[in-house]
Amino acid sequence: MPRREHLLKIGVSGVRGVVGEFLTPSLACAFAQAFGTYVDGGRVVIGRDTRASGEMLQHAVACGLLAAGCEVVDVGVLPTPTVQVYVGATRARGGIAVTASHNPPEYNALKLFNARGLFFNRYERGDLIDLYHQSAFRQAANYEIRRITPDPETPARLHFERILKRVDGDRIRAHRFRAALDAVNGAGSLVSCRFLEEALGCELHAIAVDPTKPFPRAAEPRPEALGELSELVRREGCQIGFAQDPDADRLAVVDETGRVLDSDDVLALVVEAVLDRLPGDVVVNLSTSAVIDDVAGQRGRRVYRTPVGEANVVEVMQAVKAVVGGEGSNGGIIFPEVHLCRDSYTGMAFLLGRMAETGQPISALAARLPRYARKFGETAYEHGLLGVLMQALEDAFPGAELDRSDGLKVTLPDGWIHLRASNTEPLVRLAAEARTRQQVEDLYGRVMQLVADTGPRQ
């Protein structure tokens, strides 16, 4: 009989799993009650993306919070970064976004935010999980049960205002950029149209912006999923195209020729724009390209690297007071002056601002960056065999520079390879980079052979 895969994960960003058999309304309610107990009542914000299970799980989360004596503020369908900005700006006790972000539609999750609108750090997360497992929940008496208050309009206004203070909105609007958008019918569908058309003055051509419909493509905005957006850019003569994931924290970019830019290059362009105007350093994860080191080094700035995961990057950004950061491998741009979170809207504004400032098309801006070849992949893997694979990888590259803070990253003179367990799915993820395409193919192929030799799932 085949092994049954357990598709529930409690990790760096919260609780995530396949809805129904693993992530259930009763589990969501209990975890929310633990959350409400942990933040000791008070006001807690709830938002969600557009996947079919979202409304069901949002009701369950609201029940758990009310049972713990919290006042619930329902902001409805909104991007995760917008929810985070609102939590921090309104001094709520915390927030929960019901979204599985880039995962397929059968998944959902509870993303958990503290009073600053940031993901729980490792200590907060550990305390909350202990409280959940002990079922030591506060049970509000009848007279303590609060109400649910809707506020669907304020969050986007606050978010837009913060971004527009950090870019030259008048210059962007004066260019009247022709922009394309693929919002995957996700949480950003309506908000993103308003942002590009009204806040930034773009002539917008949009697809997949109906939040009542299913995702029309893979949730993660990878190049192979963005053919319709590329065609839209070419057909309408757009100067740039933007794609988001269902909760709109990740950003992919298409240039004016219809070519999907490498997500690491997108982050590098934003890092350039920030470092040219602000003093400070950069924080990225271990799987992000060395192009960030080149861009920062040209400006005399330092790059710090962390395990993969927004919470990990943010924690180090706070410690070193970094002015910009992110996760290039997944299209995550973090600019603390707006908020310490992955934010596709800040990314869109900075890229349009760079185009307006330089008068150059996005393809030309990207072409100036140092060139690297990159390859990413993933494979299912048997529990208990990951350590064997890591040791085999270490043995295969004697004398290489090793980083064991998140799986294993092996750095060689002409490139690197990073192998790690996924934070969100039962997979092993693999990232490789080298100076040439042949070098990265050879490196990637060598490691995939190690995966095969050490016992992958059939």
Give pLDDT tens digits for 231-268. 999 999 999 999 999 999 999 999 999 999 999 999 99
Enumerate long-range contacts of 257-263, CB under 8 Å, 24 or more apart.
257/233, 257/363, 258/230, 258/231, 258/233, 258/234, 259/230, 259/363, 260/223, 260/226, 260/230, 261/362, 261/366, 262/289, 262/374, 263/328, 263/329, 263/330, 263/331
Q: Are 334 and 443 contained in the same domain? A: no
Q: Are 334 and 393 contained in the same domain? A: no
- Among 367, 385, 405, which residue terminates a domain? 367
- Among 151, 180, 211, which residue terminates a domain? 151
- Residue of 12 and 291 predicted with greater confidence: 291
Q: Are 249 and 347 contained in the same domain? A: yes
Q: Are 122 and 200 contained in the same domain? A: no
* Confidence at residue 13, expressed as pLDDT on a 0 to 100 scale: 66
Query: Residue 392 pLDDT more than 80?
Result: yes
Q: How far apart are CA 399 and CA 416, in angstroms?
A: 13
In a domain, 283, yes or no: yes
Percent of the chain with pLDDT over 70: 95
In a domain, 383, yes or no: yes
Query: Residue 6 pLDDT more than 70?
Result: no
Of the ranges 113-127, 164-178, 210-224, which one carries the lowest mean pLDDT score? 113-127
The CATH number assigned to the domain holding 403 equals 3.30.310.50
**Active site members:** 101
* Confidence at residue 12, expressed as pLDDT on a 0 to 100 scale: 62
The chain-wide mean pLDDT, for the chain, equals 93
Q: Are 96 and 139 contained in the same domain? A: yes
Q: Are 346 and 311 contained in the same domain? A: yes
Q: Which pLDDT band holds residue 421 (cuts at 50, 70, 90)?
A: confident
Residue 281: name the closest of 320, 254, 248 by CA: 320
Q: How far apart are CA 400 and CA 419, in angstroms?
A: 15
Q: Which domain holds residue 276?
A: 157-367
Q: How far apart are CA 432 and CA 418, in angstroms?
A: 6
Q: Which pLDDT band holds residue 303 (cuts at 50, 70, 90)?
A: very high
Q: Are 86 and 197 contained in the same domain? A: no
* Confidence at residue 383, expressed as pLDDT on a 0 to 100 scale: 66
Q: Are 359 and 390 contained in the same domain? A: no
Q: pTM above the 0.85 mark?
A: yes
Q: Are 295 and 354 contained in the same domain? A: yes
In a domain, 3, yes or no: no
Q: Are 226 and 94 contained in the same domain? A: no
Query: Residue 386 pLDDT more than 50?
Result: yes
**Looking at the 3D structure of the chain, how many domains does it have?**
3
- Among 317, 346, 367, which residue terminates a domain? 367
